[in-house]
Structure 1
């Protein structure tokens, strides 16, 4: 896989959350395109094997496809009624699997920089990588605050159910989440046993707890001024109750069962302040859980695996070394 993100990436979309809210609502746009030029859907994504999460029907109801602008970039996936895992296999397996949860402000799923690029970096290290296209809570679903967690729990279970097929240890399944996908990753790490859907089949008897979790420039807080407003609004609505805010504030739910966590953030992140990672760090330390944090001077937001010549581009190697310690 050699697809590369363009020089602009999606960071401008998340930094301009108000504009994104307008676009994602399907506003009519006139004149020249409003989007920076982004790469097309990568061939590696198109060709990857797909595993449906819910072959017997997606839980919940109320899904409504949203109108999107004609020039909406196809690497920013929307209107997800059938969540999927895309499978990327290494040349030689190291016996471990990794679930990648892309971000996108709970408004789209950024499948290139936080999906295909992650798969390229980690399959090169022997991981079988599964990239999740999870449902977006603001696309009409009932119990919107539970919809992403339903998909994340099910994804870990499906990955474990397929361990013999793809050649890795079902106990050695880690996950990595980015931005809003980092919020989902943190919610999975703390809420893996939360009963958010009725069991469907034998797969749902499997453990949804990842062996280790990486959170890359994650949204952790869902309250101002630290949160990313678009992500919080799409997940919880415009006026969530205090109980709902607490329910989806993962730092409040760290326990002795929370898996080891690896955190990455850039200090110049204007979209999701680095304080989000600091909040999670403090919660994990208070619970005496294994945690490692890397703060980079520069990188802004949405850098994915990062360019290898930049400091922020070093995190995949640091993550791989950390996983070696926690999943030996």
Structure 2
């Protein structure tokens, strides 16, 4: 079975094309009986028709179970029609979080950084929405904008239907992991970027998060410490200067940036701590409220429930919940 760290590490030195990703996935595809159920019963599509940038041939869905025996998790590839899954708490308090899984922009780690995040945050009263977004290198026009198109649209649809979900649209935030942390950071600074043509009344809603959590994020795509596989999968081989600048997220932090919450392990060997420190430095310079938790051990990809047994990194969802409550009090 393919381990996430192994695959992402390979991506850092040789970016995965859609063909190579599919070939790798062939070694890790589980039987249907062993597949984690996806999507859950309550979910909604992002686009009423073909998504922006769709070509004549759409990607073919290719979910797989990956990881060592006993700890396998669901990854998504080949998403042609992105969705948002809804996870409701027993006692909702009006707060809501859109969780954005990582995967180097080569897969979406929907279980570890989507489903499991809901399991950890729902008991705190937080309604969780898990984003299954399109992968930029799987054959879309303007590939670098594709994930941000989906993230913006998700925020607008959630707000447009806040009453249905029992949430306060003013208390909707995000949390993103690894490359999903980069997408979350892109949404944090680029919530108003015109990356797609509005399609209906929901697009009059704001896509701005009230707060943003970035967990071991690939924050910058221009610094030596970046994860090169994520960068190349998102930007493609010859990005123009304007596109590169738009997705160099720390440099775009400014006075209008929402409060930030950072989580990283010092021993992360895949996405160095420097990525979060870059965000912290820029946020402090811009006087943006920021809280950071840097754990000695945890590695990369620990999500909500996968940090080493006994590691303090397992506490981050509780810290995130407390920080959200404090942030919303203003």
Asked whether the two chains share a fold, i.e. TM above 0.5, the reply is yes
- Structure 2 CA distance for aligned equivalents of residues 22 and 36 of structure 1: 17
Indicate if the aligned counterparts of 1:149 and 1:196 stay in contact, CA closer than 8 A.
yes
Indicate if the aligned counterparts of 1:13 and 1:20 stay in contact, CA closer than 8 A.
no
Name the residue aligned to 2:217: 218
- Structure 2 CA distance for aligned equivalents of residues 129 and 71 of structure 1: 23
**Unaligned runs of at least 5 residues, structure 2:** 67-72
Indicate if the aligned counterparts of 1:175 and 1:185 stay in contact, CA closer than 8 A.
yes
Q: Does 1:300 align with 2:294?
A: no
Name the residue aligned to 2:322: 321
Q: Does 1:59 align with 2:52?
A: yes
Structure 2 vs 1, CA of residues 28 and 37 (structure 1 numbering), >3 Å: closer, same or farther? closer
Q: Any idea what SS the aligned residue of 1:138 has?
A: helix
- Structure 1 CA distance for aligned equivalents of residues 200 and 317 of structure 2: 35
Q: Any idea what SS the aligned residue of 2:98 has?
A: strand
Name the residue aligned to 1:239: 238
The Cα of 1:25 is off from its aligned counterpart by 2.5
Name the residue aligned to 1:205: 204
Name the residue aligned to 1:3: none
Name the residue aligned to 1:146: 145
How does the TM-score come out when normalised to structure 2?
0.88
Indicate if the aligned counterparts of 2:13 and 2:229 stay in contact, CA closer than 8 A.
no
Indicate if the aligned counterparts of 1:100 and 1:175 stay in contact, CA closer than 8 A.
yes
Name the residue aligned to 1:291: 290
Instruction: Figure out how many residues of one structure are paired with residues of the other and give that number.
Output: 319
- Structure 2 CA distance for aligned equivalents of residues 177 and 37 of structure 1: 26
The Cα of 1:80 is off from its aligned counterpart by 1.1
- Structure 1 CA distance for aligned equivalents of residues 254 and 109 of structure 2: 30
- Structure 2 CA distance for aligned equivalents of residues 253 and 46 of structure 1: 34
Structure 1 range deviating more: 17-26 or 317-326: 17-26
Name the residue aligned to 1:80: 79
Q: Aligned-pair RMSD on alpha carbons?
A: 2.7
The Cα of 1:135 is off from its aligned counterpart by 0.9
- Structure 2 CA distance for aligned equivalents of residues 63 and 10 of structure 1: 31
Name the residue aligned to 1:159: 158
Name the one with the larger helix percent. Answer: 2
The Cα of 1:72 is off from its aligned counterpart by 6.8
Structure 2 vs 1, CA of residues 70 and 210 (structure 1 numbering), >3 Å: closer, same or farther? closer
Structure 1 range deviating more: 246-255 or 100-109: 246-255
Indicate if the aligned counterparts of 1:136 and 1:148 stay in contact, CA closer than 8 A.
yes
